[in-house]
Amino acid sequence: MDDGLSSGTEAAAPIRVVLTKLGLDGHDRGIKVVARILRDAGMEVVYLGLRQTTDSIVAAAVQEDADAIGLSMHNAGHMTLAPAMLKAMAEAELEIPLVVGGIIPEDDVQSLSDAGVAVVLGPGAPSEEVVNSVRAAVAAA
């Protein structure tokens, strides 16, 4: 009976992702689609909604023991906000991947990666790419 209790659920633990938007950015169609994509891939999406701060996102990720943080960005603030998020995560010793998606110009992708963003998903990224890149980033952490 002990075997039954311990083997049944452990392997199947879903990936938990905190998904949100940082700062003043009200474009939430994309993030809602991404939430559905991740849910339908079997992940648990902790959706925080809009207008979060780096501190509120870190607090949520700590309490939720998230495996990754996903930020949706459509206000051209990614070059400022993504590094700010990484800094807040480092200060809290949160060693989980940051995934950024949204309107990210091709020219900025390398800088974001260099800054420590694990995955950058641009407009039109297919569902499989979203799911697989999150899985890969979590597995690599």
Partner 1 sequence: MSLRTSPPEDLVARALDGDRRAVGRLLTLVERGGADAETVASLTQPHAGRAHVVGITGSPGAGKSTLVSQLVAGIVDNGTVPAVLAVDPSSPLTGGAILGDRVRMADVDGVAFIRSVATRGHAGGLALSIPGATRVLDAVGYSPVIIETVGVGQVEVDVTAAADTTVVVVTPGMGDAVQANKAGLLEVADIFVVNKADRPGASDARRDLELMLEFSHVTGQENENYRPPILMTNSLDGDGVAEVLSAIDTHRRFLDDSGERAVRTRRRIRFEIENRLAMAFDVTLAQRLAEPATEALIDRVAQGDLSVVDAAEQLRQMMLGSREN
Q: Which residues bind partner 1 (CB under 8 A)?
A: 1, 4-10, 12-14, 35-36, 38-49, 52, 55-56, 59-60, 62-65, 92-95, 141
Q: How far is the CB of 35 from partner 1 (least distance, A)?
A: 5
Residue (67 or 108) nearer to partner 1, CB: 67
Residue (68 or 104) nearer to partner 1, CB: 68
Residue (13 or 107) nearer to partner 1, CB: 13
Cα–Cα nearest to 17, from 41, 49, 47, 40 = 47
Q: How far is the CB of 119 from partner 1 (least distance, A)?
A: 19
Cα distances from 89 to residues 10, 29, 33, 43, 127, in angstroms, run 27, 26, 25, 22, 27
Q: How far is the CB of 104 from partner 1 (least distance, A)?
A: 24
Rounded CA-CA distance 33/72 in Å is: 11
Evaluated on CA atoms 104, 110, 115, 116, the torsion sign reads positive
